[in-house]
Chain A
Amino acid sequence: MNPKNKPGGLIKFVIDGQKVEAGPGWSILETARHHHIHIPTLCFHPAVTPWGSCRLCVVETRYGKRSQVVASCLTRPVPELEVMTNSERVQNVRRWVLEMLLAECPASREVKDLAAQYGVTSTRFAIKDPNEECLKCGRCVAVCHEVVGVNALTFGSRGVTKQLETPHRVPNNACVGCGCCVSVCPTGALQARLDTVRGDLARRTGHGFAH
């Protein structure tokens, strides 16, 4: 930890030229929200640990001579840090992510609206499934693990073939049908999938092992 960054104290830094103060343990994104500075995001949710998968919340930070693009939901500020939420590099990442999302989850109204806000209305990429809404942001997996504590959802496979699944790809009796995953989903993709997640509710176990 930076010695200047004493735990407990407020951290003074700059977002888009505006002087801001971060409380203990706040990320750049939380500080920006506190000061009503808008940074878009799809995967951040206050109920769960930030995971940083959508990368829409990227900002460019400058500390001394060093400039880099980081995810604001995961990065803690240091004193005198200069944050730019709308620089050219940031816009480049954001626009490309939105354009790719238009091809990845073309059925999602939320993604379309957000993309339109940033001037992205069409995509150059191939659309695999026109009915897909899920962007694999991981909110549902995190809420099921951290808040509900049953791990009824997980990611299967990796890389370009990554999928949202139940463990072993069978309906899961551990699922208590609480609907937390549906309520945190940024695109409503889980609404249609909930029935493929939960198993026999009469036999629910509340833990990871179906019997």
Chain B
Amino acid sequence: MGKIKDVQELEAWRDRLLAAWNPEQPVVRVCSGPGCLAQGADQVAKAFKAAAKKGKFKVAPLIKETGCHGLCSKGTLVNLAPADIFYVRVQPQDVPEIVETSLVKNGVVERLLYRENGKRCRSAADIPFYRLQEKVVLKNVGDIDPLSFEDALAAGAYRSMARALTRMTPDEVIETVRLSGLRGRGGGGFPTGYKWRLAADQTRQNPGPLYIIANGEEGDPGAFMDRAIMEGDPHTVIEGMIIGAYAMGSHQGFLYVRHEYPIALHHLTIAIKQARRHGLLGRNILGTGFSFDLEIHRGAGAYVCGEETAIIASLEGRVGVPVTRPPYPAEHGLWGRPTIINNVETWANVPHIIDKGAEWYAGLGVSHSTGTKIFSLVGKVNNTGLVEVPMGTTLGRLVEEIGGGVPGQARFKAVQTGGPSGGIIPYEFKDISTGDRKLSRGELTSPDMVLETSGFPVEFESFVQAGSILGGGGMIVMDDKDCVVDLARYFLNFLGEESCGKCLPCRLGLKGMLEFLDNFAQGRGDPEDIEVLQSLAQAVMDGSLCGLGRSAPNSVLTSIRYFREEYLAHIQEHRCPAGVCRDLITYRIDQEICDGCGLCLEVCPQNCIAGRKKKPYSIDSKACTRCGSCQDVCPMDAVIVV
């Protein structure tokens, strides 16, 4: 089908697709998100396709390679509809059995079901990980084939756009977004409707082009929310941008996507081509007279290009270096014209708000942080993956109920939120009930006060109070085997490398802070150095220009605030309580546990393990580089850190 001329034609096509859909037809959804692909999802899908051709079915099954299903730690994930069976850890060799039992017959392969406390969960809805989520933006991700336009259309794509373009004025669209309470999902939490209003007013005063940009430069370690949306449901981003463009009067948009996301780039390119072919992008969209087009711009791998003025510099062809604001991009942005930059997730929220209304959206979450937020749950947690929950969900629920807690016997210690620029929030904050009060920045300072007066819900303000930021939504869970000094060192090193290097406090200050932490990690320094470090961190925060420098010391400051005793243990007792900092630990083999299997001897890169087979081995601690390989392979857990 070629260009869609008007809304009736679009709806007629959708109706045809829905009428042609046979509810009896089995659909196999193979997760092809990055996590599952790494586990061989493409081979699983291939095996299903081969089996679908050969088998004897009443109705031939449809095999879909979809976007991320979310439960990345259990990949490859396969979902069967309409039987509603959810298989985890599927390998290509399991496919014939699944086809035979569940597609030809009506059985279930018990061994491939998700197990929770010994109980097997047949459908995804039985698993707490999915049951406790509320999917709005991710509704179609994992459900539709991201490369198929028909699939997206049948799932409701472009319905909101058609409605906005034909039945709403631009001002009504902005008002709806404003009333919904949607706030920027990139971390700043700026009210989106307000920002759009600024831009619309700006073009009215100063006629000429207005540009809109989707920020898909998601560089935080351990964060993949935008990636999942762009890979799994690219049309929702495009639709959100068309609605925004219509509301603000823009005719050209850019998708700034990082080069490290090849699948997202591929899927978006195809989706844009499809939308253009069917007349949903380009001149005179759906015969309404409104014109808008989109272009993809690849980021060249600079973390700082997630900052909005750096994105503009990069799009203009300059080096990605942030410049001072004001003037804000909404007044003076790309090529000197008003420019609106929203995160990919923010754009993806827009179609749902237009579809179901501002009131429905404002009813989700808490009063000042509405809607849902996607988090990527990584680190020491059983169910690593992508989750979408209403704003205001407690951290404990996120980590312990949805995430399934920390693996093994370890204790849940803290969560690093908001990526490298965020802070460490300790376990003690996990259980507090959802607060519903708007708190001003800096109203609370000490951790005890947070405990007494507010809740600790997952939303923008409470995170700022705890000294962290919500950020893009990365959550790195730590257990008692993780050292906060080491973590702060890792993030400072990352930010030092990724800083653009313009402001001296950021370029030299991050290096200087790292010098202090390196000393601590080697057991050197004075307890007074902690105060000195805090003062330097304050100088970096005050002295830097952009958000990178201004938030870079967060991880150091919060770790000092909540885990000062751990710093003191390094400095005064020359001991790393978590057993991570190499200069402060020694590996030893427990002579009573070791059964002399010799595995450690084989992996030791220093050849510093001595002993005879069947007799306990021992480590020469002088030659040992503390790489930990022996501990990783030991089947008896005889290698201990002292």
Contact = CB atoms under 8 A, between A and B. Distances in A.
A13 to B, nearest CB: 16
Contacts of A55: 503-505, 543-545
A89 interface: yes
A140 interface: no
B324 A74 contact: yes
A81 interface: no
B535 A92 contact: yes
B12 to A, nearest CB: 49
A125 B532 CA distance: 12
Interface in B421-450: none
Interface stretch (A28-36, A96-104, A112-120): A96-104
Q: Which of A54, A69, A96, A155 has the most CB of B within 10 A?
A: A96
B60 to A, nearest CB: 54
A71 B539 contact: no
Contacts of B540: 96
B511 A160 contact: yes
Contacts of B502: 51-53, 138
Interface in B305-360: 319, 324, 326-327, 331
Q: Which of B508, B536, B539 has the most CB of A within 10 A?
A: B539
Contact of A52 (B304, B497, B545): B545
A96 B501 contact: no
Nearest to B511: A160
A55 B546 CA distance: 12
A97 B501 contact: no
Nearest to B325: A74
A71 B508 CA distance: 17
A208 to B, nearest CB: 14
B512 interface: yes
B507 A97 contact: no
A101 B324 contact: no
A159 B545 contact: no
Q: Which of A71, A100, A125, A159 has the most CB of B within 10 A?
A: A159
Nearest to B536: A96
Contacts of A74: 324, 545
Q: Which of A58, A69, A93 has the most CB of B within 10 A?
A: A93
B232 interface: no
Interface residues of B, number: 34
A126 interface: yes
Contacts of B539: 92-93, 95-97
Nearest to B508: A100
A1 interface: yes
A158 interface: yes
B499 interface: yes
B507 A125 contact: no
B94 interface: no
Given A1-B331, A100-B509, A162 B545 contact: no
Interface string A59-100: 000000000010100111000000000000110110111001
Contact of A97 (B304, B324, B326, B504): B504
A92 B543 CA distance: 9
A159 B507 contact: yes
A158 B509 CA distance: 14
Nearest to B542: A69
B501 A58 contact: no
Contact of B509 (A54, A76, A89, A96): A96
B529 to A, nearest CB: 9
A136 interface: yes
Given A54-B504, A55-B503, A100-B508, A159 B498 contact: yes
A160 B512 contact: no
B505 A125 contact: no
B205 to A, nearest CB: 10
Nearest to A65: B440
A112 to B, nearest CB: 16
Interface in B221-246: none
A96 B545 contact: no
A162 B302 CA distance: 14
Nearest to A90: B542
B65 to A, nearest CB: 37
Contacts of B326: 1, 76
Interface in B477-499: 496-499
A89 B542 contact: yes
A153 interface: no
Nearest to A163: B501
Given A96-B505, A136-B501, A160-B501, A125 B515 contact: yes
Given A125-B515, A160-B510, A100 B501 contact: no
Q: Which of B326, B503, B508, B510 has the most CB of A within 10 A?
A: B508
Nearest to B548: A159
A157 B321 CA distance: 12
Contacts of B327: 1
B87 to A, nearest CB: 45
A100 B499 contact: no
Nearest to A53: B502
Contacts of A136: 501, 507
B538 interface: yes
Contacts of A197: none
A135 interface: yes
Given A69-B543, A96-B505, A135-B504, A158 B499 contact: yes
A186 B507 CA distance: 19
B41 interface: no
B500 interface: yes
A103 B499 CA distance: 19
A71 B538 contact: no
B490 to A, nearest CB: 15
Nearest to B535: A92
A159 B504 contact: no
A75 B327 CA distance: 10
A53 B331 contact: no
Interface of B: 302, 304, 319, 324, 326-327, 331, 496-505, 507-512, 515, 532, 535-536, 538-540, 542-545
21 contacts: A52-B324, A52-B545, A55-B503, A55-B505, A76-B326, A90-B542, A92-B538, A92-B542, A93-B543, A95-B539, A96-B505, A96-B535, A96-B540, A96-B543, A101-B508, A125-B511, A135-B504, A157-B501, A159-B496, A159-B501, A161-B497
Given A55-B543, A160-B511, 10 more contacts: A75-B324, A76-B326, A90-B542, A97-B508, A104-B508, A155-B319, A159-B496, A159-B498, A159-B501, A160-B508
Nearest first, the 9 A-B pairs at minimum CB distance are A162-B501, A96-B539, A69-B542, A100-B508, A93-B543, A74-B324, A159-B499, A55-B543, A160-B496
